[in-house]
Structure 1
Amino acid sequence: MTSTIRTISILFSALALVACAAPQVSEPETVAVRATSLNPSYSSVNAQILSDAAKIDSSFTATLDPEVGVDTVTRLQSSYTQEVGDESLRVGDAVSSVGMWGTSVRYGGMQFGTSSETRADVIASNRMATAGMAVLPTVADALFASASDAGSNLGQQNLSVDRSLPSGGQGWNLAVQDALGHSQSIAAPMIARTRLVEEGCSDFSVGIGKVREDYALTSNSYGPMFANTTVACGAPLGFTVEGHGEYLADEVTALGFGVARQFGSLGTASVAFAQSNDVSGASGWMSKVGFDHSNSMFNLMVRSRFQSREFRDIGSMALTDPIMQRDLASVGVNVTERASLSVAYATQTTWARERTNLIALKQSMGVGRGTMSMSAGHSLEDNFGSSVFISYKRPFGGIKPWSRRVADEIEELDLQLPQSMQSVDN
């Protein structure tokens, strides 16, 4: 009863702070409280204290439902961030950086550098409860895992992906269910654009601490020591050279580098290589190649990954059937000023020769003052079906002129999964 009263007090206090935190027009905002979800069975609240050079951030979830099986109040993350010139120092909970390769994880400790944002294709929702080590999968990881059995990383974390939904040009929109049964729609591209930096080595991120475990299930569960670093340097002749490394105590160490360069109007090419050593002494390698091209008429993005059976990074330590090859590709075309067409294709082969092929098509066109979209997805595997979505969006109120849109690098794919995989209510 005492914990219930405390939870109600916290929720009402948060609401009061929301009302009090609305800033005056002439004054900067110093306190911000946001309730993403607020109901007796599941509430999520984030609070920030801001200044010109520092920020205190804290978020938590609360529930009055005794059947959920978690604490009444569960801390998600808390941190203090201080700006130090062009760099920032973060103490507390953070998400590790990745470059052209690597795995993002949640950890508690210290992070310092100029680059703190996660890569665009990483699913980094701070409300998704995960069992075990808090590894953040990419969109490609999630899509392929949804076609696999529970032995995948997502299955071990009690995360499941039911399908991808029309995203309105924001990439793949995944309906993900977490370890507590809460579902969330997450939009992200499957292929992140290649990053190029200016000359010098001013783009970096270094982190050290302890990896987070059972995120959003318990408040203060941390595992073994973790270290991560990413440094990107602008080299002569327009090259970007990147180094990345990640370490998890008594588990795995992986080091590698990447090189990228833009070749005029032809596009941007990239190549990366990494080597790993796990606790058993096994050593493996991984290589990635990519190409991006974009102009006013169309864009093209291609990524290919090859690796040995023994290669492991932090996100694939527990895999019994690792990736052998993964290929991702997308093409977007501006057919007319108000119409675009895009095609996305993804294929993966594991060392056990399990092969998965996914293909998607999307067409968008302006109709009156709105936009008509049609998207279709299909898998070449026997246990999947096909589906088609048609939607029409029209703004109300003030109408902004329709502006020409460059087709997004990846569009959505919808798959009819087997009944055993369908765990998110539609």
Structure 2
Amino acid sequence: MRLDSSWRKDFPEQRASLQIGDLVSQGSSWGYPVRFGGIQFSSRFELAPDFIPFSLPVFHGETSLPATAEIYTNTQKLAQLDVAPGPFDILGLSPLQAGQGELQLVVRDLLGRQQVIYQPYYITPRLLQPGTSEFSYGFGAIRKSYGFESNHYGQLMASAFRRTGISPGFTYEWQIEASPHQQTIGAGGAWLLPYFESIFPRVINSSLAVSHGNDGQGAQLILGMEKQQRSGNFSAQIGFSSRNFTQAGMLSNFRTKNTGMISIGIPLLRQWVNIGYIQRSSWQNDQQWQLSLASNIRINNVTQLGISILHGNTGTTVLAGLNFILDSRTTITTDTLREGSKQQTAVQLQKSMPMDNGTGYRPAIRDATRPAFHGKTRMPHCRVTLLAAMASPVTRLLPAAGCHTPATGCLHPEKSMKALPSSIPARSAI
């Protein structure tokens, strides 16, 4: 059975790519990822490995004489540079860990005089650098019965999404979706709040979307907040939807009424333990909830153990897996999934594509009876990538809703909350 086939042309100068074939739509914080067959032009920051899209801290200072500036974080020296007399700005500091921290700037002039400046910072993927944009524009037919049928496509769909950094502390986004029976438009933003030595959140986000469908008009409001620091991470989000709100990828038999999500990360014995709770109710008076506990444990330089426990109104799922690094491009992953009285075991070999021309592949087998294959190749002397994926029917590609393999961890909480009813990360109408 065919899963995916696609062609991709990369444009490194624009940090973007053009894809044709079986694709997954990209969208805003409130949009569902949807499988479709068609064409998509989207940003691709990884084409420029030295480019950092999110907002970084900026130092402002002034010196009357030529001086040397040294920058530290957690006693680690990040950079040293010479500054000319007068006011100066230091920007583009890297590498820095995501979350909250403090920078120390030490300025020494020719007379040996020294001044020390302390500046807190906060780095999050929610905030893009001013002038930097993440975008995706797509058109095609929605994929149906993915994992069950090779070539089943439904109604046409067009989508457009863009997220742009306006200032170091504000990033806005908008998204438009349109199909014959559904049209949705929405906008939102993320704001950096002032620094406080407390549990007060550092970033808040909100979005508002309106829709038109066969049942009439609807609206959705989402509010969220986050704080990341060395002592722990915290994020929360709530959402409210009217009865007739609709969007691409939404299940017709589950009209969301309200959602809630809390995620906490705690450092424990040099490892991170992540605890999450997700709840969603529908206008059909159905409720879904899920409590999760996950951690990745580094055994040595080449071996990592991942453990995830999910418990909800549909039962309990336990996933444990080992990831072995064979070389810079090759890994072997084995995992065992247990849901109630059912147990599945899978083994996967993955060889990533090289930075230039070459081939990558990912064969996998589950329960010794359900093989799957995913392959990519980049053609010589051009930025073109071909992708193909196949599997036996009803092969469960992911172990549980909202989670990848143990080596990569769970999806972002926002996406996990929306993926509860499905066992695949991107929606395809069935």
TM-score normalised by L of structure 1: 0.50
Per the alignment, residue 423 of structure 2 pairs with none
What does 1:226-265 correspond to in 2, within 5 Å?
226-236=157-167, 238-248=169-179, 250-263=180-193, 265=195
What does 1:54-69 correspond to in 2, within 5 Å?
61=1
- 1: CA distance, partners of 2:140 / 2:279: 35
Q: 1:378 to 1:102 in 2, by over 3 A?
A: closer
Q: 268-277 or 82-91: which moved more?
A: 82-91
Structure showing greater relative contact order (alpha-carbon pairs closer than 8 Å, 6 or more residues apart): 2
Larger radius of gyration: 2
Per the alignment, residue 13 of structure 2 pairs with 85
2:217 aligned residue (279, 283, 306) = 283
1:332 aligned residue (229, 251, 265) = 265
Letter in 2 for 1:327: G
Q: 370-379 or 348-357: which moved more?
A: 370-379
Per the alignment, residue 304 of structure 1 pairs with 238
What does 1:40-55 correspond to in 2, within 5 Å?
none
Letter in 2 for 1:260: A
Structure 1 residue 390: deviation in Å? 8.2
Determine whether 1:101 maps to 2:30. yes
1:268 aligned residue (203, 207, 214) = 203
Structure 1 residue 90: deviation in Å? 2.5
The alignment's C-alpha RMSD in Å is 3.9
Per the alignment, in what secondary structure is the counterpart of residue 249 of structure 2? helix
Per the alignment, in what secondary structure is the counterpart of residue 316 of structure 1? coil
Determine whether 1:343 maps to 2:272. no
Per the alignment, in what secondary structure is the counterpart of residue 85 of structure 1? helix
Percent identity between matched residues is 23
Letter in 1 for 2:218: G
Cα offsets for 1:206-227 (capped at 9, x unmatched): 1123333444655554433211
Structure 1, unaligned runs of 5 or more? 1-60, 62-73, 118-192, 399-413
- 2: CA distance, partners of 1:394 / 1:231: 35
Contact 1:342/1:362 (CA < 8 Å) preserved in 2? yes
- 1: CA distance, partners of 2:39 / 2:203: 33
Greater strand share, 1 or 2?
2
Structure 1 residue 285: deviation in Å? 0.6
Q: 1:79 to 1:305 in 2, by over 3 A?
A: same
Letter in 2 for 1:76: D
Q: 1:286 to 1:415 in 2, by over 3 A?
A: farther
Contact 1:344/1:359 (CA < 8 Å) preserved in 2? yes
- 1: CA distance, partners of 2:139 / 2:324: 47
Structure 1 residue 261: deviation in Å? 1.8
Greater helix share, 1 or 2?
1
Structure 1 residue 298: deviation in Å? 0.5
- 2: CA distance, partners of 1:357 / 1:220: 33
Structure 2, unaligned runs of 5 or more? 47-123, 196-200, 328-336, 346-366, 368-430
Letter in 1 for 2:264: V
Cα offsets for 1:16-47 (capped at 9, x unmatched): xxxxxxxxxxxxxxxxxxxxxxxxxxxxxxxx
1:205 aligned residue (125, 131, 136) = 136
Contact 1:194/1:292 (CA < 8 Å) preserved in 2? no
TM-score normalised by L of structure 2: 0.50
Contact 1:194/1:270 (CA < 8 Å) preserved in 2? no
Structure 1 residue 263: deviation in Å? 2.4
